[in-house]
């Protein structure tokens, strides 16, 4: 039962442009959402998070938007850089409980 879904397996953007990665969830109990970034042969690393009491959280070039009514969140990267090329995982949890991940989106930023 995939409670967190990332329907785009891959995304390719030009350096300097915006990258938008999308994520949908089905469990309305989720109240904390995270994005992780993963390079080959490494474990995922935490990128940015958002609590369900907010609809936007920004950290430098990275912004996460949450639309609770649509059960949808997105990660915006502006401007995109070649070093951002990685697999991005969306995750959701009920605080104090476990964390469920999506299938990931492979982002390629072309120079």
Partner 1 sequence: DARVTQTPRHKVTEMGQEVTMRCQPILGHNTVFWYRQTMMQGLELLAYFRNRAPLDDSGMPKDRFSAEMPDATLATLKIQPSEPRDSAVYFCASGFGGSTEAFFGQGTRLTVV
Q: Point out which residues bind partner 1 (CB under 8 A).
A: 2, 6, 32, 34, 36, 41-46, 49, 89, 91, 93, 95-104
Rounded to a whole number of angstroms, the minimum distance from the CB of residue 42 to partner 1 is: 6
- The CA distances from residue 107 to 19, 26, 51, 82, 96, in Å, are 8, 24, 24, 10, 30
Rounded to a whole number of angstroms, the minimum distance from the CB of residue 106 to partner 1 is: 11
- The CA distances from residue 60 to 4, 79, 99, in Å, are 25, 10, 25
Rounded to a whole number of angstroms, the minimum distance from the CB of residue 65 to partner 1 is: 19
Rounded to a whole number of angstroms, the minimum distance from the CB of residue 94 to partner 1 is: 9
φ, ψ of residue 30 in degrees (nearest 5): -60, 135
38/61 with CB nearer partner 1: 38
Q: Which residues, including other chains, have CB under 8 Å from residue 60's CB and lie 6 or more apart?
A: none
20/99 with CB nearer partner 1: 99
């Amino acid at each position: 039962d995939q409670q967190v879904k990332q329907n785009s397996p891959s995304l390719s953007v030009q350096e300097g442009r915006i990258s938008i990665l999308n994520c949908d969830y089905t469990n309305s109990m989720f109240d904390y959402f995270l994005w992780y970034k993963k390079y080959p042969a490494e474990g995922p690393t935490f990128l940015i998070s958002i609590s369900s009491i907010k609809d936007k959280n920004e950290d430098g070039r990275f912004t996460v938007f949450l639309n609770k009514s649509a059960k949808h969140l997105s990660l915006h990267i502006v401007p995109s850089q070649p070093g951002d090329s990685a697999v991005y995982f969306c995750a959701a949890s009920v605080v104090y409980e476990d964390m469920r991940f999506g299938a990931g989106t492979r982002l390629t930023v072309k120079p």
